[in-house]
């Protein structure tokens, strides 16, 4: 059975951190420098008492209201997060209860970052194709700013918190095509929070600062910028080509390319390297930042609202893991 995206909504925390506020903390930067380089003017950040489940519930409730969706018809919940409420139980189970979804519905978490939405679509499509479910609620929810050291000016300019809710069903406005997926765990240490899991359960308290004043700690997010940039340039162009091949399409057949919204510098570099016209390449991070697994669904909803989500739409997610994935949506 064919699977479709039927509805998308998203939720942003109320607290906003502007470039001006960051420049007050890091006066060596300017508002213009941050905005021009990474294409972000502000980002939304959770309060101390907000968790992934809180954002997930608010995104889903917004979806139900905006589209008149009957929650009793949801028969599977997929939750993508790398900032779960607990080690156990699965945050998806907490969200199922808070949303009042049927107890006959399946629910599970999966741990992926910037490729997570594409992987979630692949899981949802499989559930529908197998007849296991007919209405899959896919939620991406991250409180990534909790992973950042307060003095980490680079990552604090990039990342924002958010959640997005997508209903995948047996009908909808965009059919879900064939996928190209990939993994290379050799890059795991280049984007990592080392402590807090079972490998290193205790905090390391090993904070140091490099010659530029950037913090390095096993207890916070570490991102090796150069290695991540190189991985992106190596992985994404073949991902786009393979996704096109799997869907029997050419680059010229694509009406809109919606990539993971990493930052404007990387996105523009990729666009030029792959040879995508700028009017077919969607940017959506100025007011929200890099929201990890939620960047693509937020961009899709914005493109839909702007009336430019039409024809064949190619999605490409890539990041922590390393992990990458692509798919083509075809709108009705």
By annotation, the residues acting in catalysis are 114, 260, 290
Q: Give the whole-angstrom CA distance, residue 27 versus residue 184.
A: 38
HEC per residue, the chain: CCCEEEEEEEECCCCEEEHHHHHHHCCCCCHHHHHHHHCCCEEECCCCCCCHHHHHHHHHHHHHHHHCCCHHHCCEEEEECCCCCCCCCCHHHHHHHHHCCCCCCEEEEECCCCCHHHHHHHHHHHHHHCCCCCEEEEEEEECHHHHCCCCCHHHHHHECCEEEEEEEECCCCEEEEEEEEEECHHHHHHEECCCCCCCCCCCCCCCEECCCCCEECCCCCEECHHHHHHHHHHHHHHHHHHHHHHCCCCHHHEEEEEECCCCHHHHHHHHHHHCCCHHHECCCCCCCCECHHHHHHHHHHHHHHCCCCCCEEEEEEEECCCEEEEEEEEEC
Instruction: Specify whether the CB–CB gap between 91 and 297 falls below 8 A.
Output: no
Question: Which residue has 């004043």 as its token pair?
Answer: 213
Q: Give the whole-angstrom CA distance, residue 21 versus residue 234.
A: 35
């Amino acid at each position: 059975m064919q699977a479709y995206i039927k509805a998308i909504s998203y939720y942003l925390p109320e607290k906003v951190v502007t470039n001006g506020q960051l420049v007050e903390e890091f006066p060596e930067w300017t508002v213009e420098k941050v905005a021009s380089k990474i294409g972000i003017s502000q980002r939304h950040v959770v309060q101390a008492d907000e968790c992934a489940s809180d954002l997930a519930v608010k995104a889903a409730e917004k979806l139900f209201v905006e589209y008149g969706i009957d929650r009793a018809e949801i028969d599977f919940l997929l939750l993508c997060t790398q900032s779960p409420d607990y080690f156990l139980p699965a945050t998806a189970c907490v969200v199922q209860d808070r949303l009042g979804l049927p107890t006959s519905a399946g629910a599970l978490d999966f741990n992926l970052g910037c490729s997570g939405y594409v992987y979630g679509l692949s899981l949802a499509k499989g559930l529908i194709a197998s007849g296991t479910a007919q209405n899959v609620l896919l939620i991406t929810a991250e409180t990534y700013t909790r992973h950042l050291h307060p003095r980490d000016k680079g990552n604090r300019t990039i990342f924002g918190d958010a959640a997005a809710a997508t209903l995948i069903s047996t009908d909808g406005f965009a059919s879900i095509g064939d996928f190209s997926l990939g993994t290379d765990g050799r890059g795991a240490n280049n984007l990592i929070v080392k402590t807090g899991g079972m490998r290193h359960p205790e905090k390391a308290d090993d904070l140091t600062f490099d010659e530029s004043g950037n913090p390095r700690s096993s207890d916070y997010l570490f991102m090796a910028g150069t290695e991540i940039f190189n991985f992106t340039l190596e992985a994404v162009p073949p991902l786009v080509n393979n996704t096109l091949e799997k869907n029997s399409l050419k680059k010229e057949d694509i009406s809109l390319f919606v990539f993971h919204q990493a930052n404007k510098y990387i996105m523009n570099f990729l666009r030029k390297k792959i040879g995508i016209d700028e009017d077919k390449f969607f940017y959506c991070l100025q007011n929200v930042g890099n929201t990890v697994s939620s960047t693509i669904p937020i961009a899709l909803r914005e493109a839909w609202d702007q009336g430019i989500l039409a024809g064949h739409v190619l999605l490409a997610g890539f990041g922590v893991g390393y992990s990458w994935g692509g798919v083509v949506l075809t709108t009705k």
